[in-house]
Amino acid sequence: MSNIAAKRWSRRDFVRHAGLASLFAPFVTLFDGRPVAAAGEGKAKYFLLFHTNGTDVASWAPQGSDAGITAFSKMTEPLAAVKDSIIMVDGLSGGGLCSSHGSPGGLCGAGWGANALISLEQYVSDGLKANGINTQIPHLVLGDGTTEQKTTFWRANQALTPVSAPATAYNAIFSGKAPSGDPPPSNGGTPEADPRLARRQSVLDLMNAELTQLSNALGAEERAKLEVHAESLRQIEQRLAAQMGGGDGTVVEAADCTIPSSPANTNKILMDSSLMVQLSINAFACDLTRVAAVQFGHHQKAAVEVPGVTGEWHNEFLHDPNKRAQLVALEQWLCQEFANAITQLKSLPAPDGDGTLYGQSIILWARDMGDAINHGDSKMVYVFSGGAGGYLKHNGNGRYFRASGGHIKALVSAATAMGVTDFSKFGTGDKTPLTQLGA
């Protein structure tokens, strides 16, 4: 165990970490950043997006009302243990944007149209930056674990590839101590920063050329796997570009925190996503990022291997009536994972020392569609959690209400809690947050 510190790297060490071999390794937290500013913060500071496929909506709904949940459905029973920390919402319409598996509209709040597709976690990350809030890692996009077509996370009309291996994500988030060969400038200022960043950019330019050559030599399946690592490289470039934009060059210090042990890949996509949630929360505890999205499985032939449940999510559990019991059991496991995330957030102190991470976080369980059995989106379902700095109103018996309007209202509610209020380039329709959440 050790504490994370701001990192300064020599060109030699950078090449060692980011040379050709590193095309098969994650991006690392190498670069100085701009100072975190609090002026634009919302009530919540941290946003965890928990994403899964659609479900059997009729079997999902609990009994109760906004005043309290009187009985959980069989598939949501594990949420009873954290009922004082959750708000369950259904009834929102996807407006035809979320009626197929892997619908981009699930997180983008729109189809192809006037605004370039951008998913919720990306928009929140950009909004934080616009509000003057910067961290060493702008956002984490994790999970999936397959070479299936990517349709969940988007930026500028381009589908994003999540980091799918827990060990890779770990190295990306919690890269090692700063090497001793590159001391900070003697005057404590920034004169050396720009030349170092420029040298690192030249290394990345070389790596891009090598990556292109390698990709051209591979078959389609191998290229798809390599795309995961190419996305990691692009994230390095984005962070470098941000660092080279000028300013006073003040280092973004990561908070003192305990770095978790490196997890081993399970090679089971849902179990790996469970580890990704834990890593994301630990990244929050170090204030390395404010935004993390974790996808559980994918929208087609997602293999399910979790305790008590094995099979195939799409063709079997969702579309074979004889496999509906397995869908219920899988949803129970997912609910337990959501409850575990709440418990972990409650167990960790907030980086600023003001209460727990839970108290400063908003968690949203969102889906690609509503009624996955019948390919319907008239009843999108969501679960909100987190203290969210007081943005959400909780009670001891939990809360459940049926909302009206478009599903984008749920998405912008989470963004609003994070202090993002300009939705002119996000989604379509009525972008008013859900007032029933208690803001």
Domains of the chain: 1-31+176-253 (no CATH), 35-165+265-437 (3.40.720.10)
Other Cβ atoms within 10 Å of 352 Cβ, number: 12
The total number of residues written for the chain in this structure: 439
Tens of pLDDT along the chain (439 residues) come to 333 333 333 333 334 444 433 333 333 333 333 334 344 678 999 999 999 999 999 999 999 999 999 999 999 999 999 999 999 999 999 999 999 898 999 999 998 776 789 999 999 999 999 999 988 889 999 998 887 888 999 999 989 989 999 998 898 888 632 322 334 444 444 334 445 455 555 555 666 666 666 666 666 666 655 665 565 555 555 545 444 544 445 456 678 888 999 999 999 999 999 999 999 999 999 999 999 999 999 888 899 999 999 999 999 999 999 999 999 999 999 999 999 999 999 999 999 999 999 999 999 999 999 999 999 999 999 999 999 999 999 999 999 999 999 999 999 999 999 999 999 999 999 999 999 998 5
159 Cβ partners below 8 Å, 6+ apart?
Answer: 104, 149, 150, 151, 152, 153
62 contacts 73 by C-beta, under 8 angstroms? yes
What's the N-to-C CA distance of the chain in angstroms? 39
Which residue shows structure tokens 């496991």? 333
Indicate the residue type of 304. V
The partner residues of 376 in beta bridges, in order of sequence, read 371
Which letter does DSSP use for residue 187 in this model?
A: T
Angle at the Cα of 342 (from 316 to 422), degrees rounded to 5?
90
**Distance in angstroms (rounded) separating the CA atoms of residues 170 and 262:** 6
Other Cβ atoms less than 10 A from the Cβ of 195: the count is: 10
Helices (H), 149-188: 166-173
Q: Token pair for residue 357?
A: 């991470």
Three-state SS at 324: helix
Both structure tokens of 139: 């956002």
* Dist. CA 73–CA 173, nearest whole Å: 37
